[in-house]
Amino acid sequence: MSQMAKSDAQWKQELSPEQFQVCRRRGTEAPFTGEYYECNDPGIYRCVCCGAELFSSQAKFASGCGWPSFYAPIQSDHLATREDHSFGMVRIEVLCARCEAHLGHVFPDGSKPTGLRYCINSVALKLDPDSRDA
Ligand code: FE
């Protein structure tokens, strides 16, 4: 981790206020509002902060939870996780392994084949349209 350490001032310059709040301050976008919540376009979802490849559209599924949901990352080592005890809950926070952007959380109530639901803020992602078979 911390392969791409930048100061808050740097991130503030590069990100929109909402991107900064979610990715660098562990915020959460309002449910059912995100750009990618109902998106079914093929491609690779990258980290909005550093461009790392995080999720394939092939692993996206309709969870109904209000945020883009994926059953697996593109590569497990592209994500980092840690326990999050905020709001009186124990959840598993999901971060970009390269730049430590807060992405969302992972829950064990997901879809086949993994049974996981990576519940990710749209604002933390940038869809890279992919002409490859997707
Ligand atoms: Fe990143």
- 96 CA from centroid of ligand 1 (Å): 5
Residues 76 and 97: their CA atoms lie apart, in Å, by 9
Confirm if 97 and 50 have CB atoms less than 8 A apart.
no
Domains of the chain (ranges; CATH) run 8-128 (2.170.150.20)
Active site residues: 119
Instruction: Give the distance (Å) from ligand 1 centre to CA of residue 58.
Output: 20
For residue 64, how far is its CA from the centre of ligand 1 (angstroms)? 26
pLDDT tens-place string over residues 33-78: 999 999 999 999 999 999 999 999 999 999 999 999 999 999 999 9
pLDDT digits (tens, 9 = 90+) for 89-98: 999 999 999 9
Identify whether the C-beta of residue 61 lies closer than 8 Å to the C-beta of residue 112: no
Residue 103 pLDDT > 70, yes or no?
yes
Write down the mean pLDDT value for the chain: 94
Tell me the C-alpha distance between 18 and 25, whole Å: 10
Predicted model pTM: 0.93
Contacting residues for 99 by C-beta, under 8 A, at least 6 apart: 3, 4, 6, 47, 49, 50, 52
pLDDT, position 90: 95
